[in-house]
Chain A
Amino acid sequence: MKDVKALFALAPTAPVIGMAIAPQQAATNSNLSFLFVAYTLTWVAFFGYIVYMSRKQQALRRDIDALKKQLEDKQKSASLPGTGR
């Protein structure tokens, strides 16, 4: 964390006109935990969504395989002599 703080301290500053609240120089190293949480949260959410979709896909594949098997069994039993309808 100390290294990150040093990094920001070295960076030049530029004002965001639409955002400037007060003309004073900000404590550039303050509130880094909020920054960390915001970026982490975003990454976790997107990864989580990708995992959710891939799990859904796996479940769907299982359903399709089960359906195929049921269909094959049905066809087999229908083609057996004496059981065909």
Chain B
Amino acid sequence: MNLSLRTGLLGLAGVMMLITLYMAFLWVPNEATMGAVQRIMYFHVPIAIIGFVAAGAVFVASIAYLIRPSEKWDAIAYASAEVGVLFISLMLLTGTLWGKATWGIWWDWSPRLTTSLIMWFLYVAYLMLRAYAPKGVRGARYAAVLGIFAMIDVPLVYMSTTWWRDVHPQLLVGPAAPEGALDPTMRTALLFAMLTFLVLYIALTVERYYLRRAEEETERMQLSYEGR
């Protein structure tokens, strides 16, 4: 992907973000029980869903790496995990703010929140493994195994409010969400916000991917120069 296309993708994400802000603050109606603070949803829910997408990309790239080891798959998994950690962290932070505003508490060890925190730990562990494991094929292989294992938690996070009693709101979007769970205007705004964050995720992951490849290439050049 050439540089102008990558810059364009980031620019597109910026424009879409402005439209998302317009929709979230001026276009959608106020929620009847929570009021204005419910508008956190237009960032919190899409960020969470894209966090799942990032985890899925790590999973797919890790499997692909184990089947056919190549630096390309390894770099995709790494880039997606790093951007994914950013999304999952924001999911937890915006969630605690929403929780404090609506439940009156910052944190509750409910199934949804606990599985989400475990998810964050798993992908932080992935990045720590990349930082401290041996460089090269061995480290990449360890990380791929963790990238596959970590995916187990994602369906647990998504389905937790359906499978167990939870203080967290029920599913609003996705295959398991009930019909008519959301006002149509809110639904449209939420779906647009998801698209926005998806474009942002792709733009950031592509940038991180090329940066990772360049880092590896430079490291290789340095090693060959030093004659190691």
**Are B35's CB and A29's CB within 8 A?**
yes
- A24–B90 Cα distance when bound, in Å, is 30
- A16–B172 Cα distance when bound, in Å, is 9
The answer to the question of A78 belonging to the interface, with a C-beta cut-off of 8 Å to chain B, is no
Closest B-chain residue to A30, C-beta based? B35
Query: Count of A residues near B, CB < 8 Å?
Result: 45
Name the residue in A8, A32, A42, A53 with the highest tally of chain B Cβ atoms < 10 Å from its Cβ.
A42
1/0 per position for A36-53, CB-CB distance to B under 8 A?
Answer: 011101100110011001
- A36–B218 Cα distance when bound, in Å, is 42
Closest A-chain residue to B93, C-beta based? A41
B37 in complex: contacting residue of A16, A35, A49, CB < 8 Å: A35
The answer to the question of B36 belonging to the interface, with a C-beta cut-off of 8 Å to chain A, is yes
**Are A39's CB and B43's CB within 8 A?**
yes
- A43–B218 Cα distance when bound, in Å, is 31
A15 contact set on B, CB distance < 8 A: 31-33, 183
B30 contact set on A, CB distance < 8 A: 8, 11-14, 28
1/0 per position for B20-46, CB-CB distance to A under 8 A?
Answer: 010001101111111111111101100
B47 in complex: contacting residue of A20, A42, A71, CB < 8 Å: A42
**Are A34's CB and B37's CB within 8 A?**
yes
The answer to the question of A31 belonging to the interface, with a C-beta cut-off of 8 Å to chain B, is yes
1/0 per position for B177-197, CB-CB distance to A under 8 A?
Answer: 110111101100000000000
Stretch at the interface among B55-63, B124-132, B146-154, B208-216: B208-216
Name the residue in B30, B185, B221 with the highest tally of chain A Cβ atoms < 10 Å from its Cβ.
B30
Residues on A facing B (Cβ under 8 Å): 7-8, 11-32, 34-35, 37-39, 41-42, 45-46, 49-50, 53, 56-57, 60, 63-64, 67, 70-71, 74
A-B contacts, 17 listed (Cβ < 8 Å): A8-B30, A11-B29, A13-B31, A14-B183, A14-B185, A16-B169, A17-B182, A19-B31, A22-B33, A30-B36, A34-B37, A35-B36, A38-B94, A49-B83, A49-B86, A57-B214, A67-B225
Residues on B facing A (Cβ under 8 Å): 10, 21, 25-26, 28-41, 43-44, 47, 83, 86, 89-90, 93-94, 97-98, 100-102, 169-172, 177-178, 180-183, 185-186, 200, 204, 207-208, 211, 214-215, 218, 221-222, 225
